[in-house]
Each structure stands twice: as structure tokens, then as C-alpha cells.
Amino acid sequence: MPPVANKDNSPNLILAGFMGTGKSALGRQLAKRWRRRFYDTDELVEKLAGASIADIFAEHGEEHFRALERQVVAGLLPEYGGVIACGGGLVVPAGMGELVRSKGIVVTLFASVDTILRRTAGNSRRPLLKGDDPEAKIRELMKKREQAYMKAGIAVYTDGRSLQQLCVIVERVYEREARALLKSRPKSE
């Protein structure tokens, strides 16, 4: 358990990245390890809207969904101490990367198209991958989003790594970043 993560005022850990890169699985595992609360922005959006992601997309469209995500990040996340998994497109719209970074330490998970394809098959929470050729959609979206993902946080590649190994890697990144952040805060805080 990382020492800095024990402090009540330790920064949030925020996991960003494409659908199927393992944000929720890793986030839940780290939250358990650190005895912190886990938040999933997809769940918070569904609660806020009182509707499923599939229904939000079908009835109101993607733009409305993005507005809800912004509301969640701006107003419904804890200030400190949480482990948060973001929906895959959350950091993509203009200004969202900055907003998310203002809420904690951001790690972006990456995975190969094959891994993403395998992990995302048949999930109704991912309407953007619906259709005959999900692989083409993944490639197209990934290309559009890659820059935003790189800018949003510290990149961690997940292929060929177990959940256990990823926990250790992300924990190390978090510790390093949290220490730097605590050092840079004025003493009176």
C-alpha cells in the first residue's frame, strides 16, 4: 500500500483510456488495495440521468452524454482520496483533459486493438462500437483520440501484463506523482 495514498488529503487516482483497456477492473482492484472508494463515471452518469448509457445515447445522442460526463467530473467526484475510472471518451472533448487533470493524478491505459476487440464484445454500455465492423470503429476512434489520451495522463501499456502487475506499475506512478504534488503545495495547505 503506498504511504502517500494513506493520507486523507491524498490526490484522486483517475484512470482514463479507450474502452476495454481495463480501467474499471484496475480501479476496483487498486481501491480495494488502498482501502479507498471506487467511482465509475459511467455509473455516475447513469445515476445522474436516471437512465442507462444505451438509452442516453439512443434518446439524446452523444453530445448530451458528453455534457453529463462534464457535469459528473465538475461536480460529483470527491476532492481527494478516490479511485476513479473514466468512460472511454470522457477526456476527448476540448477542455476535458484539463478539467480531469485538475481533479487528481491521471493515468491513461492503452491496449492493442485485438485486446480491446476481445474485451468489448457485446456490451450494451458501448453503443459507439455497435454495428457490423467494431474493429474498424475501434481503429477509427483510436486514431481520432490518441492525441487526447496521450495528453490526458501518464501512459501505461496493459498488453501482456496481469492485473497484479498493473497494480504495481500504477501504484508506483501514483506514488511518484503524489509525492511531487504534495511537495509543490504551499506548507499552509
Please report how close the Cβ of residue 172 comes to ligand S3P at its closest, in angstroms. 24
Q: How far is the C-alpha of 17 from the C-alpha of 141, rounded, in Å?
A: 12
- Judged by the rule CB under 6 A, the positions of this chain that interact with ligand S3P are 19, 42, 53, 87-89, 125-128
Of the pair 117, 128, the CB lying nearest ligand S3P is at 128
Residue 93 DSSP one-character state: S
Of the pair 105, 109, the CB lying nearest ligand S3P is at 109
Q: Please say whether the beta carbons of 158 and 25 come within 8 A.
A: no
Of the pair 82, 89, the CB lying nearest ligand S3P is at 89
Of the pair 125, 176, the CB lying nearest ligand S3P is at 125
| Pick from 37, 57, 36, 31: nearest CA to 46 | 57
| Pick from 108, 76, 83, 74: nearest CA to 12 | 83
Please report how close the Cβ of residue 101 comes to ligand S3P at its closest, in angstroms. 18
Please report how close the Cβ of residue 165 comes to ligand S3P at its closest, in angstroms. 21
Q: Please say whether the beta carbons of 170 and 26 come within 8 A.
A: yes
